[in-house]
Amino acid sequence: GAVVSQHPSWVICKSGTSVKIECRSLDFQATTMFWYRQFPKQSLMLMATSNEGSKATYEQGVEKDKFLINHASLTLSTLTVTSAHPEDSSFYICSARERRTSTDTQYFGPGTRLTVL
């Protein structure tokens, strides 16, 4: 149980284009999903917290107009990187917290590796 998927697993795009990443909880309902970014040999950096049906809460320094997050259902959250630039190249990982439990365990998706040319 507690499986989270991400799509695509990797993407290469040209500078200036937008990329959408999907995060799905496959066997549970996720009230809260989190989006992280990780650069090589660095630790996880929380970008935003997404609650179903409401606006995402962004961490300081993360541009909400550049990283659009939509959490339209209890099993799906999307992250859209708008007007991507090479410095946006990174490993993007989502995690989800199961709705029915009172714990704060986060289950991670496999990640999406974004390369912007």
Chain residues binding other proteins by CB under 8 A are 32, 34, 43-44, 46, 49, 91, 93, 97, 103-111
Give whichever of 46 and 82 is closer to other proteins, judged by the CB atom: 46
Give whichever of 24 and 109 is closer to other proteins, judged by the CB atom: 109
Residue 69 makes CB contacts below 8 A (sequence gap 6+) with: 35, 48, 50, 56, 77, 78, 79, 80
Give whichever of 16 and 53 is closer to other proteins, judged by the CB atom: 53
Residue 20 makes CB contacts below 8 A (sequence gap 6+) with: 78, 79, 80
